């Protein structure tokens, strides 16, 4: 994701006050388990707009 886009989205979430964006150096490779979920993430990300989760194509 473009760093500028990420910054704008994080600021929008922060203004809402319901959620907090937490930066982390943890990656999926560092998390154990969830093999099938990890395998599906690229396909699911490509099928949504990446932020709201709104579906943009048939999954």
Q: What is the mean pLDDT of the chain?
A: 76
Domain boundaries, the chain: 3-46
Per-residue pLDDT, averaged over 3-21, amounts to: 81
**Is the model's pLDDT at 58 over the cut of 70?**
no
**Is the model's pLDDT at 31 over the cut of 80?**
yes
Per-residue pLDDT, averaged over 2-27, amounts to: 81
In angstroms, the CA 22 to CA 5 distance is: 16
Between the alpha carbon of residue 43 and those of residues 20, 24, 46, 50, 56, the distances in Å are 26, 23, 5, 11, 12
- pTM score: 0.38
């Amino acid at each position: 994701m473009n760093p500028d886009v990420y910054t704008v989205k994080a600021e929008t979430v922060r203004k809402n006050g319901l959620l907090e964006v937490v930066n982390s150096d943890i990656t999926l490779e560092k998390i154990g388990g969830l093999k099938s979920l990890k395998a599906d993430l690229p396909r699911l990300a490509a099928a949504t707009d990446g932020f709201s989760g709104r579906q943009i194509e048939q999954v």
